Structure 1
Amino acid sequence: MRAKVLSLAVLFMLSVGTVFAGEKTEKVKVKGGDCEECKTHIETTTKAVEGVVSADWDVETKELTVAFDDEKTTLENIEKAIAKAGNDTPNFKATDEAYGQLPECCRYDREK
């Protein structure tokens, strides 16, 4: 009987942890151009990362607001995906090849 009660208590604690794990919202600067094509490219790239719930990139401020399940991904993984698609972030720089694949209107001044 005692083992059953203990098992139920452990099961309850695990389920409570699962309920509270979840969505986290972060903001990160993402370099890009000044057009809607850039916005679409950055948001689509971000949303393709498993665990991302939503993404909104502000063309004027160059700031990405991203909501994600922190059990499935991290901000680091999101930034890596963005850089792989051609846009620089504070922690990851796109390769010259990836940057070169961006449409002309989406190219931005890069720091050397």
Structure 2
Amino acid sequence: MKKITLILVMMISFVGLAQEKKSKKKEIVFKVNGNCEMCEKRIEKAAFSVKGVKDAQWHQDCQDVHVIIDERKCSADDVKKAIAVAGHDTDTFKATDEAYEELHGCCQYKRLPNTNDNEVKKH
């Protein structure tokens, strides 16, 4: 009987640890400049290019993106940098002028003076 109780306790502990490891998902929301549906596709594609991104949805009306990430695989800054490389300024990272200029004419949003000088370049 003691063996059975011990085995049950160990199994319950193992299941609890396994579930705890799975719960590293986090929703992040941050500003991303853009104008249209092409911007939406580009921003979301850039977010999904980061390993660990589970979902990404950019909202044109609010100029923000809602992203669900696995914190064990990536960070919010990883996603922001990928979006900036694609040509869209975020609240933390600014796209290079070259990346911005490569955007289609309708996608060239009004760039505001950014107090943040974190410019991200393609590698």
**Do the two structures share a fold, i.e. TM-score over 0.5?**
yes
- 1:19 aligned residue: 22
- Alpha-carbon displacement from aligned partner over 1:7-64 (angstroms, at most 9, x marks no partner): x79x9486454233x211111110011x211111111111111100010001111110
Map 1:48-67 → 2, pairs under 5 A: 48-67=49-68
Map 1:92-107 → 2, pairs under 5 A: 92-107=93-108
1:81 maps to amino acid: A
- 1:84 aligned residue: 85
- Distance across 1 between alignment mates of 2:19 and 2:43: 35
List alignment gaps of at least 5 residues for structure 1: none
TM-score, with structure 1 as normaliser: 0.82
TM-score, with structure 2 as normaliser: 0.75
1:98/1:14 CA distance change after superposition, 3 Å: same
- Alpha-carbon displacement from aligned partner over 1:69-90 (angstroms, at most 9, x marks no partner): 0100000110011111110011
- Distance across 1 between alignment mates of 2:32 and 2:22: 31
List alignment gaps of at least 5 residues for structure 2: 1-5, 114-123
Name the SS of the counterpart of 2:67 in structure 1. Answer: strand
Higher radius of gyration, 1 or 2:
2
Is the counterpart of residue 108 in structure 1 residue 109 in structure 2?
yes
- Distance across 2 between alignment mates of 1:109 and 1:24: 30
- 2:30 aligned residue: 28
Matched-pair identity in %: 39
1:16/1:59 CA distance change after superposition, 3 Å: closer
- 2:42 aligned residue: 41
